[in-house]
Structure 1
Amino acid sequence: MKNFIKIDTLMVREINQMAIPMLFNSVIGMLIGLIDMAMIGRISLEAFGAVGLISSTINSITGVLGAISIAFNIAGARCKGQGNPCGLRDIFLTGSYLAWIIGLAFWVVCLYFGTPLLQYGYGLKGNILKESVNYLHVFSLSVGLNMLLFMHSALFKILNKTRYLFIGNITATITNVILNYILIFGKFGIEPMGVKGAGIGSVIALTLNLIIYVMIVQRHQFVSYGILSIKKFVAVGRVLINDSFPLMGQEVLESTILVVCINAILSRIGVLEVSIYTFLLGMMNILLMPMYAYASTSLTFVSEHRGKRDYSKIMHIPRCALRLALRWCLSLGIGIWIFKYPLAHGLTNDTDLITHGINYLLMAIITYICTIPNTIYKYSLQGIGQEKWVFLNGMVINILGILLIYTLSNLINWGMLGVYMGLCVTYIVLSVRHYRRYHHSMMAFKY
């Protein structure tokens, strides 16, 4: 019993050591994002719409391509557990090369074909087309830069050096705010650049962040940068991309298809309901920040201990991460409920939206608390090589969940209540499925 308590205490300390800097990163990123949007909103309605459209599209693409860094996180942590630093270096360099190649290719495509893509793909014209093109030509560089940042972030997670994420991120984000203020509004003798200035500020800040990460890696000799042979790059790259596909599919399913389907269902109920869902989702994103930090930590530690074949510890890691995530998220949920009116007025000044949105806030909090076990065990399953099962299982359950949401909200006419009840049931089913799969996989590994 004493040994178990000692192991559990050490595990809590290790998990918190990695997760808490990532949590602070998320908080800073969210605050800076709100400040950026407030600045852009003061330019014009077209500028606000252009930046919102381009940034959301590019961030979605970056999220999907970021699956390469998750695949590196899994494989790299396994190499660390196996005591294979050369394998870790090869995978890191291969992922970084892929980030450079994909990022440059995406930027060139946007540079030469950005205008017709926005004109015919999104139906933009006039001033909003001009603003969108100006922003796209610069901000499209962020895809490659973010992919490289994801690779370095994954390296710091593998080595349990996440405090360096905080150092790089806070320096870059403060720089981003200062540059955006100078370039957007034209200060210190610089001509006002509007949305183009916002794009330039963001790209410079990301570049600075990357430079800081590279300097940290070189100074502490975490890995040695260098050139891989074409043969090794192709061999490792093929494995890395193959491992990334199920993760990309999962990202597309959850971040694109599921969101589009729910918005389509809500739009059939009414415009107010779409606004309520978006409004409450903003609050829930605050609630769920600890969940993603602890889920990512669980994935890294599970992959590492799988490499060590320490299956007894692998059983306890997600359980410990879940307990810590629930503690944070429940505390935030209570805080959101207590300060719901000040928080709501900080997000919008529409009194009708606030009044109706608050009516569904408690249901939204309960619903999204139910996704915490689902996410922790989903990431942990990916850490033991179950990416394909997670994707296929998620696809089936989410399709059934969409049908349930549509039935409850539109056919039975429960409206918003039906949407949240359907989501809640979907998350509970996914949580149970992921937990059971993880438990059975561990039993199979153990025996």
Structure 2
Amino acid sequence: MSELESCFRLALPLAAAQLAQSATGFVDTVMMGMLGSEVIAAGGLGATVFICLLLISTAIVSAVSPLVAEAFGSGRNATVQSVVRQGLWLALLLGIPVTLLLWNMAPILRVLGQEESVAVLAQVYLRAIAWGIVPGLLVGVLRSFVSALSQTRPVMVIVILGTALNVVGNYILMFGKFGFPKLGLAGIGYASAASFWGMLVALVIFILTNPVFQPYRIFHRLGQWEPAIFGSLVKIGIPIGVLAMVEAGLFTITTFLVGQLGTVALAAHQVAIQTAAITFTVPMGISLATTVQVGQRLGQRDFRGARISGFVGIGLSMAFMLVMAITIWTIPTTIVDLYLDIYEVSNTPVVMQAEGLLAVAAMFQLVDGIQVAATGALRGLQDTRVPMLVGILCYWGIGLSSGYWLGFHQHMGSVGLWWGLAIGLAGAALFLTWRFWRISRHHERQAIAQS
């Protein structure tokens, strides 16, 4: 019971923070709907691309979390300082090229088969929100540091305030209120970028003024380069990033494929994918908490505790997603009404397709929660290479190929593509859970044999 309570205390603020941060894409998409179906299709596509690249980059710098958690568990303060300092360098080195990629995304969207009007509108949004990538990654490093020390509530507060700033900024810049220019879709992007900068400033101030973090002096001698620590971050972080890329790529490529089916299908897809993204934030928070707990137990050489912590996180995530699956299955029309006016005749085709996709989304909620929590548990054990390979096999080898076959060869359209998502996630959930059970049991047996 103590492990469950500990996981819940850590996971709740992290889940709330994930929910609030992911609400950036949700809020952006909802407010794009105020500008019409064409804008929600193009802007939603742009939001998907941005979130995909942000998730991949943030996943790489999240290697800070298991390394700091282990060092904290074993009382090595100097190592904590070094890991965070090199993590900030890694965030900067990643952020600059990603920003340039977002700035020049329109030609890529055209090559991927998107309509000219969609690509142009999406580029407007992406060039505005691109200014938020670097601060977003720096926030990711500092969040990993604070969370690894079990200080998760302040993270929740800061991210929620940042999301509130985004909502207000969207309204002001989109409609040109209080003397600001009316920027439309670009205003939504600029407001989101500003919210990332706001969160970064708030988090830095919190760390500098809180006595808990004073012993680590993470901003001291920031220019110092430590190749060994940086190499460890890259060694652990790159597989995490590749796994995130493969998983996010599954959804992003599916979005591009849906885009080839027309604007109506793409708009319906955006409604369903944003809903799934919102529910996913809680298991993601649980996964982050599980990484911290397992990592701290690893540093304390408490291998039995690490194993229990991992399975508690998996069970908690599974229980939450079961509730979400039932909810989505029973009230799809109410959910669609959050995005579009369901009584507007011109929106009827989008509403009908979105309801069909939400029915499939309800099916994969459970396995999605299991796979992300199992990944977090393995990350706490610093096992990232095999989960990366599992992701490549399950998400692209199984999920994407089966979705393409169902969607285009069996003429199931976007519903078939979504069934491919479900199949890929189910395979990953099964293998990753088995992998954690096997490795954690091996560590525990070794500890018993050495005692």
- One-letter code of the match for 1:145? P
Cα distance between partner residues in 1 of 2:25 and 2:97: 26
Contact conserved, 1:269 with 1:410, CA < 8 A, in 2?
no
Q: Quick one: structure 1 residues 443 and 53, their matched pair in 2 at CA, closer, same or farther if it must change by over 3 Å?
A: closer
Q: Residue in 2 aligned with 1:370? A: 367
Q: Quick one: structure 1 residues 68 and 416, their matched pair in 2 at CA, closer, same or farther if it must change by over 3 Å?
A: closer
Q: Residue in 1 aligned with 2:398? A: 400
Pick 1 or 2: higher relative contact order, CA cutoff 8 A, min separation 6.
Answer: 2
Q: Quick one: structure 1 residues 378 and 38, their matched pair in 2 at CA, closer, same or farther if it must change by over 3 Å?
A: closer
Largest Rg, 1 or 2: 1
Q: Residue in 1 aligned with 2:314? A: 322
Cα distance between partner residues in 1 of 2:259 and 2:295: 41
Q: Quick one: structure 1 residues 125 and 369, their matched pair in 2 at CA, closer, same or farther if it must change by over 3 Å?
A: closer
Q: Residue in 2 aligned with 1:427? A: 425
Secondary structure class of the residue paired with 2:179: coil
Contact conserved, 1:90 with 1:228, CA < 8 A, in 2?
no
Alignment partner of 1:80 out of 72, 75, 79: 72
Contact conserved, 1:295 with 1:375, CA < 8 A, in 2?
yes
Contact conserved, 1:72 with 1:91, CA < 8 A, in 2?
yes
Cα distance between partner residues in 1 of 2:194 and 2:416: 45
Cα distance between partner residues in 1 of 2:415 and 2:52: 28
Cα distance between partner residues in 1 of 2:423 and 2:354: 21
Deviation at 1:118, TM superposition (A): 4.6
The answer to whether the aligner puts 1:198 opposite 2:196 as a matched pair is no
Cα distance between partner residues in 2 of 1:263 and 1:133: 15
- One-letter code of the match for 1:160? S
Deviation at 1:148, TM superposition (A): 0.7
Cα distance between partner residues in 1 of 2:32 and 2:185: 7
Secondary structure class of the residue paired with 1:370: helix
Contact conserved, 1:71 with 1:244, CA < 8 A, in 2?
yes
Q: Residue in 2 aligned with 1:179? A: 169
Cα distance between partner residues in 2 of 1:140 and 1:43: 21
Q: Residue in 1 aligned with 2:205? A: 215
Q: Quick one: structure 1 residues 52 and 162, their matched pair in 2 at CA, closer, same or farther if it must change by over 3 Å?
A: same
The answer to whether the aligner puts 1:246 opposite 2:239 as a matched pair is yes
Deviation at 1:428, TM superposition (A): 3.5
Percent identity over the alignment is 18
Which one is further off, 126-135 or 243-252? 126-135
Which one is further off, 346-355 or 290-299? 346-355
Cα distance between partner residues in 1 of 2:408 and 2:119: 36
Alignment partner of 2:380 out of 362, 379, 383: 383
TM-score (norm 2): 0.82
Q: Residue in 1 aligned with 2:140? A: 150
The answer to whether the aligner puts 1:56 opposite 2:56 as a matched pair is no
List alignment gaps of at least 5 residues for structure 1. 1-8
Contact conserved, 1:329 with 1:369, CA < 8 A, in 2?
yes
The residue correspondences of 1:211-290 to structure 2 (distance < 5 A) are 211-221=201-211, 222=213, 223-224=216-217, 225-228=219-222, 230-232=224-226, 234-257=227-250, 259-260=252-253, 264=257, 278-290=270-282
- One-letter code of the match for 1:445? H
Contact conserved, 1:408 with 1:415, CA < 8 A, in 2?
yes
- One-letter code of the match for 1:396? L
RMSD: 3.4
List alignment gaps of at least 5 residues for structure 2. 447-451
Deviations 1:374-426 (A, max 9, x none): 22112211221221111112222330344444555655667777656654444
Deviation at 1:182, TM superposition (A): 2.5
Alignment partner of 2:289 out of 282, 297, 304: 297
Contact conserved, 2:328 with 2:359, CA < 8 A, in 1?
no
TM-score (norm 1): 0.83
Secondary structure class of the residue paired with 2:245: helix
Contact conserved, 1:315 with 1:442, CA < 8 A, in 2?
yes
How many positions carry a matched residue from both structures? Answer: 432
- One-letter code of the match for 1:428? A
